[in-house]
Amino acid sequence: MKRIELDIVALSHSVTQSHNYAVVLGERRGQRRLPIVIGSFEAQAIAVAMERMVPNRPLTHDLFKNTLDTFNIELREVVINNLLDGIFYARLVCVKNGEVFEIDSRTSDAIAMAVRFDCPIYTYDFILEAAGVVLEEQEEEERAGRPQMASGQPVIDSNALETYSAESLQRRLQEVLDAEDYETAAKIRDELKRREQKQ
């Protein structure tokens, strides 16, 4: 299975969950974005590392990094390897003395560790197909060369609504309403109603 390398392109408040945040990952060679809802603690852990801030005492992720460093374990890469019922799964790929170990991780923790180790983040095409959004070409051109992309309005693939979790649909519904894309909003509402009737 072909892996796709991702970069962190935004870290912002979640549209639908006021106490949560969203980290947006973008494929390095493409226009798809992968938004992942995370908690405020995990968002802080990512932001602290991205801004190269040094807390007075080590945060949990700093402690874990220090532990791996002490025992000469290298975090080689992070792989977001599955998506089940709207929940992302990730693995830390570590190396010690030439031997490779994979450690199960929450995706938010894996991203926080990847930032600290400055290692690549990968996922698979089926995950981007199921949960990714695509920026319109014009929006992509407008953002070219700009390091912050948090304000962009992603476009949902209205032909694959059944592949999104209910939480993702609710989030994207608000996004397309804010963008005044009422045609897509109607399709999302229809899909949500269809699911409610099946319950």
Residue type, 148: Q
Verdict on whether the full-model pTM lies above 0.95: no
Pick the CATH number of 3-142 from 2.60.40.180, 3.40.366.10, 3.40.390.10, 3.10.690.10: 3.10.690.10
Report d(CA 21, CA 44) in Å as an integer. Answer: 10
Amino acid at 88: F
- pLDDT at residue 153 in the model: 37
Q: What is the largest CA-CA distance in the chain?
A: 56
What pLDDT, on a 0 to 100 scale, did the predictor assign at position 6? 97
B/e letters for 83-96, b = 16+ CB within 10 Å, e = fewer, are: beeeebbbbbbbee
Choice between 37 and 183, residue whose per-residue pLDDT is larger:
37
Q: How far apart are CA 84 and CA 82, in angstroms?
A: 7
Q: Which residue has the higher pLDDT, 45 or 77?
A: 77
pLDDT for 40: 84
Determine the average pLDDT of the residues in 163-180.
72
- pLDDT at 113 exceeding the cut of 60: yes
pLDDT of residue 143: 46
Q: Evaluate if residue 144 carries a pLDDT over 60.
A: no
More confident position, 44 or 56:
44
Lowest mean pLDDT of 17-21, 102-106, 149-153, name the range.
149-153
Domain ranges of the chain: 3-142, 156-199
pLDDT exceeds cutoff 90 at 58:
no
pLDDT on residue 159: 52
What's the pLDDT at 104? 97
| pLDDT mean over 84-105 | 96
